[in-house]
A and B are shown apart, each in its own frame.
Chain A
Amino acid sequence: MQEEEEFYIGWLAKAPPSFARRTRQFILVSVLSLPLLICGLVYFQKGFSNGVFEYGKETSLVGKFTPSPLPFLRLTDKDPVYGQLPPCSILLVGMGKHGFSADPNTIPAESTVRVDGFLIYRDGKIALQVKNIALLDKKSPEEGNSPSRPAPGSTSVSLRGEITDPKCFLGVMNPGEGKPHQDCAVRCLAGGIPPLMKVRDEQGKDSYYLLVGENGSPLFPFLQPYVGSGVGLCGLVQAHDNWNVLYVDTTSVQRINKYALDAGPMCH
């Protein structure tokens, strides 16, 4: 009855006992349930990859520069990089959401270069965010032989998976895939970073493909609507040391449910 008579006025120094008691109870329940709530929010997240971005830890690598179909550094060093022994190719990317490109007159294909930058690696795939590139042994532009078309005998494949960008996916962002990362992947691809397709087989094993057009041309903005969602496509795959480069038949690209493993395009 006394509680019924109590009246709360916020600008008074003290709240009536029943109001103060109820507020304390509310705060107590909130404080006690907070750790439980946060535990649930944290624990039930999907999990994160073991990708690494060695930002701030500069690495210098020496190798042959291959600009086409994608900018790779083919290591000539004997020391393994992230457990990968030569022959090993490292995808070169620029700062921020930008790809890497070099003037062919300044650094012709197959020239020996030393590249300084920050390593990004995951599941045996390596990229390097280039900070500086120095020419050690210049090839003449005519000498360089960097194919922009798939070699004869390349394997034709039909793949289902998700398209993202390799820089974020390998470790700069974690997770660097899925719907929340979609806009970022589009921005990276627009900046010249090549698209990467993540493919998961029936055993749950992931494999990765760097995508280019049929004649080695960039696939952005063609692929923009397909980024971050399930895609099926066909193409010719060519190994580039530890990387696979897929020359995509653009007429085969279709949106699919990435979880429906039996769906996908029929390849010629």
Chain B
Amino acid sequence: MALSYDPVHWTPHKRLYDRILISFIGVYLLLFIGLQSVFHPTCTIETTLIRATGTLGFLMLHLILIIGPLCRFDRRFLPLLYNRRHFGVAMFLVALMHGILNLFQFHALGNVDPMVSLFTSNTQYGSLARFPFQSLGFFALLILFLMAATSHDFWLKNLGPRVWKSLHMSVYFAYTLLVMHVMLGVIQLEKSPVLIGMVGLGMFLVLGFHVAAAMKQHKTDAASERDADKTSNPQVPEGFVYACEWSEIAMNKAKMLIIGKENIALFRYEDKVSAVHNLCKHQNGPLSEGRIIDGCITCPWHGYQYLPENGQSPPPFTEKLATYDVFVLGSSVYINPSPFPEGTARNPAQISMSI
């Protein structure tokens, strides 16, 4: 969390992350160029650089896309997610290098402007085999640029998490364009089954991890759904819905509840139970997978914090969540799924008083 918009709010973790990332990029490029000069000594340096940056960018995009679902299966991968946007910006820069090299190699020094050449040299959009694959790469790069340019928290704050998230979901469209860019481009020349297999394996991993993560999430959501019917127990105030037994919520942890359209995180801490909206204001992280640390709900993705009683980030931070009324009767926890305006203080339900 940060109060002001620094270009990069450096933490020891981010420094380490970036050092490893830059080393990874450097090692990849050196290895590729070195091996290319051994196996294919007559290949020109321009072609070598184009292929090195193209394959590296594509590999990085696969890793970026896989990190998310990987964390759904094992949260110990979360350190990879924490600084993923640096990974994304680095990937964009590698892809940009690939794009510039291509534009110069194939379109510069001709009778028209390179950008005009890009869109007019091949106009066979009606044919799959002869499709102008370079334009696909251009539009994918444009999307990656938009994502890299808006990756900073300044844009996240000003666009709002929903718009920002929607914009950044276009990475899947960019990925689709890039798969087509590869399959309709270089794979039309390089017909080795090994190379085609590598592209296929990459697609399989990206798709497979996402489908498996979606199924897991669906299962979790289904287990979290509660009937929106109000309880008829006369001891419970009107408008409340049965949530769970308080013993089902581990100390300083939460339980996710989906009641109607409300996605709620029900936290147990000290002797209390409080409820807030489940999605973090930063990047819609699942707060119910977070912890109460130093009295604050802490998001598992980037460590954004909120006070459970009022859903407000501790001063001087200003993020606010919607809150809900909670009621404990005996061992049972009830919740009123009508949200209060973001940051509204609600008294936590006391467990000991209800027993």
Contact = CB atoms under 8 A, between A and B. Distances in A.
B44 interface: yes
A13 B16 CA distance: 10
Interface stretch (B28-36, B222-230, B309-317, B324-332): B28-36
B20 A27 contact: yes
Nearest to A191: B111
Interface in B44-59: 44, 46-47, 51, 55, 59
B243 to A, nearest CB: 23
B78 A8 contact: yes
Contacts of B217: none
A218 to B, nearest CB: 13
Contacts of B108: 96
Given A30-B24, A48-B40, A184-B105, A178 B189 contact: yes
A122 B151 CA distance: 48
Nearest to A230: B129
Contact of A22 (B13, B74, B118, B124): B74
Nearest to A51: B42
Contacts of B184: 179
B105 A173 contact: yes
A10 B107 contact: no
Contact of A8 (B79, B129, B194): B79
Contacts of B291: 7
A183 B118 contact: yes
Given A10-B82, A38-B35, A98-B111, A182 B122 contact: yes
A76 B173 CA distance: 60
Contacts of A19: 76, 78-79
Contacts of B14: 10
Interface string B211-228: 000000000000000000
A40 interface: yes
B110 A188 contact: yes
Nearest to A22: B76
Interface string B112-144: 100001100110100001101110000000000
Contact of B121 (A40, A45, A53, A186): A186
Interface residues of A, number: 62
Interface of B: 1, 11-14, 20, 24, 27-28, 31-32, 35-36, 39-40, 42-44, 46-47, 51, 55, 59, 63, 74-80, 82-83, 105-112, 117-118, 121-122, 124, 129-130, 132-134, 184-186, 188-192, 194-195, 198, 290-291, 293, 298, 300, 302-303
A50 B42 contact: yes
A110 to B, nearest CB: 29
A229 B13 contact: no
A34 interface: yes
A96 B107 CA distance: 10
A46 B194 contact: no
Given A7-B298, A30-B24, A46 B192 contact: yes
A187 interface: yes
A183 B42 contact: no
Nearest to A95: B109
A187 B40 contact: no
12 contacts: A7-B290, A31-B24, A34-B31, A35-B31, A45-B190, A48-B40, A97-B109, A98-B110, A179-B185, A180-B186, A183-B118, A187-B117
Given A44-B192, A188-B110, A10 B40 contact: no
